[in-house]
Structure 1
Amino acid sequence: MTTDSAPPKAPVLDPATLTARPGETDYPEPFRAQVAGRHRLTLGDPLGISKFGVNLTRLDPGASSALRHWHSRQDEFVYVVEGELVLVTDAGETRLAAGMCAGFPAGAADGHRLVNRGDRPARYLEVGDRSAGDVIDYSDEDMVWRDGAYHHRDGSPW
């Protein structure tokens, strides 16, 4: 058995070598502040994964993963790695502890988001496919994302 202290190379990736993108979002104002405490590490792209996205995301206390939303064509999956989060859906709120997961099938019009209501950061793995033509509906806002841009429900741009 040999031990190699050199950094791993694809297909292996050490997330500690990546730089998180804190609060990065293309949401229009006034929605950006809601994800200011979100720190996302993109894991799939550096490994050449192109059919689906994989992110390791940290939510600081008080932060949200996103605005409550659902996808027309994209499946989503989240797995809580560390800490505790609250899943907010049309049905209400559900506590998710480390080791728990949730899935959101494409086309299910039930907006979801994760919120960290605790006093410590929480981390989760998020996986979603990259279906062409996906439309994102933001359940609590006058906003949809389609054709690469945000629009009001009446079709006017943000």
Structure 2
Amino acid sequence: MGDHFGLSNFGVNLTELAPGAVSALLHHHSKQDEFIYVLQGTPTLVLGDQEYALKPGDCMGFKAGTSIAHQLVNRSGESAIYIEIGDRTAGDEVEYPNDDLKTTQLANGVWALTHKDGRPY
């Protein structure tokens, strides 16, 4: 939604998470903050080694640089719909603690995907 209005400092996405789906691999950002607001459904927030049942009206923020990984999982039989907002700070790196993956935002804005040891995919 943010791109539609030409926003360049932060992104806004309206996301539908189907039953059984996950929002992303468990991850954390080095520079980009994120925020979610649940509109519909009951997704589960995985935050580090804890889990939290969310419902419409619940929100959560994910501060960059904390190394606390997060993801949403829809374990219900209904779609979950939420708004996610993230800043677009350049030079971000994303770590995936459970996967052999690291992403780095290059100077031109393109994301490079590598193994944790730096080998490219």
TM-score range relative to shorter protein:
over 0.9
- Corresponding position: 1:86 with 2:44: yes
Q: Provide the residue aligned with 1:58 in structure 2.
A: 16
Find 1:155's aligned residue among 108, 118, 121.
118
- Corresponding position: 1:46 with 2:4: yes
1:105-120 mapped onto 2 (5 Å cutoff): 105-120=63-78
Task: Using the aligned pairs only, state the percent identity.
Answer: 50
TM (normalized to structure 1)? Answer: 0.72
TM (normalized to structure 2)? Answer: 0.93
Deviations 1:82-138 (CA, angstroms, capped at 9, x unpaired)? 111000121321101010001100101011000100000010000000010000001
- Distance in 2, matches of 1:48 and 1:142, equals 34
- The SS at the match of 2:43 is strand
Aligned length: 116
Shift of 1:46: 0.7
Greater relative contact order (Cα < 8 A, sep 6+) = 2
Q: Name stretches of at least 5 consecutive residues in structure 2 with no aligned partner.
A: none
- Distance in 2, matches of 1:81 and 1:139, equals 28
Runs of 4+ in 1 over 2 A off after TM superposition: none
Question: RMSD over aligned Cα, in angstroms?
Answer: 0.7
- Distance in 2, matches of 1:91 and 1:116, equals 17
